[in-house]
């Protein structure tokens, strides 16, 4: 069982963000914790929980979970693990902004049981950070890593964003070099996308910003692969790199279709072929919990075709790949000829060049499977 808690509060909305957040100067930490724990208690008698005696991972995402009052975060972890204790050496992750990391906060997070912190660094370029509406400086990112280590938290991941508009003049190679100097055991590297209803989407619509072209996206994606793997990181998922033994266990559960439960506004859950998700907005979700009503906003039950497609996509987005028998010979031959896939030991996985084409390759593979199923005997 893997448990996710969505903490929606942020000091501001980043220019590219379309997540379910609630911008608050003063975070209602106590109310949030009490409401999450009330939602959790409602799940404890459910058959889904009866199958799981312990929590293998616990993940606080957002939003900005590091804006919760440290004492309330400690109460939240204690409340969640009272009925379902953490497994031995369980990964407990907190997403944090660098400017929230103080010696006192880091010490409190460690006392609360946090074993891993994911820092939203995004860039080491001050101009890019301002354009993104980030509230921290490059110096605060570097200091945050030092502070976490001094508190005894060594499992640190940093997020970086590539393919920002060329007009910003960001040096992506320099950002990668700055990240490598921190020598953290995990990095997540995401390409900037223009999502609807974001400040960035409005800038693009008005001609005030332009998304990076596909060739720039590809160049920067491949440069990250080259620089980080040369430095000893394993590129184990499209966007993720880790030192040996430091893969993100919670996120890996998603990619391997394991059971996970989401608490909080907009949180998603999955068990087998079932998927469901909570009310998106903080106040609506909190009001439903406090009134003893359902927090469910929607659900779906995946059919055989959808499960097969999901399995293909999730398998190919990681370095674990798919069983050789999952891919028809002509398709695999074409992929290998183009340099998009490798094969060994009965497994097939995509190369970085293949990952750039992940959606198209999965669509081709799914189409081939469908034609095989529908072909007359």
The CATH number for 345's domain is 1.10.10
Q: Which of 255, 290, 325 is the last residue of a domain?
A: 255
Whether 22 is covered by a domain: the verdict is: yes
245 and 309 co-located in one domain: no
Look up the pTM and report it.
Answer: 0.95
C-alpha span between 179 and 160 (Å, rounded): 9
Q: Consecutive sets of 10 residues in the chain, 377 residues long: mean pLDDT of each?
A: 97 94 96 98 92 94 97 97 95 98 98 97 98 96 98 98 96 98 98 94 94 94 98 98 98 96 97 96 98 97 93 96 94 96 96 96 80 36
Instruction: Give burial (CB, 10 Å; 0-12/13-18/19+) of 367.
Output: exposed
User: Which of 255, 281, 316 is the last residue in one of the domains?
Assistant: 255
Is-contact 236 242, C-beta < 8 A? yes
Note the pLDDT of residue 51.
85
List all residues 6 or more positions away from 207 whose beta carbon is below 8 Å from its beta carbon: none
Same domain, 234 and 336: no
- For the chain, how many structural domains are there in total? 2
Q: Beta strands of 8-111 (E only): which ranges?
A: 9-10, 22-23, 55-62, 86-96
Residue 376 CA to residue 273 CA, distance in Å, equals: 28
- Which range marks the domain in which residue 363 is found? 305-374
| Residues 48 and 196 placed together within one structural domain of the fold | yes
Would the CA dihedral through 360, 364, 369, 375 be positive or negative?
A: positive
One domain, residues 76 and 141: yes
Query: Is 278 a member of any domain?
Result: no
Whether residue 61 lies inside any domain: the answer is yes
Same domain, 126 and 201: yes
Residue 282 lies in a domain: no
CATH (domain of 40): 3.20.20.70
Q: Is 162:221 a contact under the CB 8 Å cutoff?
A: yes
CA distance 377 to 374: 9
Same domain, 93 and 197: yes
Instruction: Tell me the three state secondary structure of residue 281.
Output: coil
Residue closest to 121 by CA, chosen among 145, 154, 149: 145
Domain for residue 131, yes or no? Answer: yes
């Amino acid at each position: 069982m893997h448990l996710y808690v969505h903490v929606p509060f942020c000091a501001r909305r980043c220019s590219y963000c379309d997540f379910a957040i609630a911008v608050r100067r003063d975070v209602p930490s106590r109310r949030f914790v009490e409401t999450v724990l009330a939602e959790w208690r409602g799940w404890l008698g459910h058959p889904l929980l009866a199958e799981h005696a312990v929590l293998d991972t616990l993940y606080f995402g957002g939003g900005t979970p590091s804006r919760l009052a440290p004492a309330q975060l400690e109460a939240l972890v204690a409340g969640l693990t009272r009925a379902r204790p953490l497994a031995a050496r369980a990964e407990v992750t907190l997403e944090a902004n660098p400017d929230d990391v103080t010696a006192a906060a880091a010490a409190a997070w460690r006392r609360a049981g946090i074993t891993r912190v994911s820092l939203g660094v995004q860039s080491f370029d001050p101009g890019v950070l301002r354009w993104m509406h980030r509230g921290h400086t490059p110096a605060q990112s570097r200091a945050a890593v030092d502070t976490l280590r001094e508190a005894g938290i060594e499992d640190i991941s940093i997020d970086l964003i590539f393919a920002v508009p060329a007009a910003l003049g960001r040096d992506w190679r320099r950002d990668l070099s700055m990240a490598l100097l921190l020598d953290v055991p995990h990095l997540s590297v995401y390409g900037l996308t223009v999502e609807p209803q974001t400040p960035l989407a409005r800038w693009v619509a008005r001609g005030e910003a332009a998304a990076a072209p596909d060739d720039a996206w590809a160049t920067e994606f491949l440069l990250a692969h080259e620089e980080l793997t040369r430095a000893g990181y394993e590129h184990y998922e499209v966007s993720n790199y880790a030192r040996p033994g430091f893969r993100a266990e919670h996120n890996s559960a998603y990619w391997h279709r394991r059971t996970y439960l989401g608490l909080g506004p907009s949180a998603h859950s999955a068990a087998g072929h079932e998927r469901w998700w909570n009310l998106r907005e903080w106040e609506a979700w909190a009001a439903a919990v406090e009134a003893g009503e359902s927090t469910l906003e929607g659900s779906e039950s995946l059919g055989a075709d959808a499960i097969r497609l999901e399995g293909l996509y999730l398998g190919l987005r990681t370095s674990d790949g798919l069983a050789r028998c999952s891919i028809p010979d002509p398709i695999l031959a074409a992929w290998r000829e183009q340099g998009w896939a490798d094969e060994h030991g009965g497994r097939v996985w995509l190369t970085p060049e293949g990952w750039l084409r992940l959606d198209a390759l999965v669509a081709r593979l799914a189409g081939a499977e469908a034609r095989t199923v529908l072909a007359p005997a």
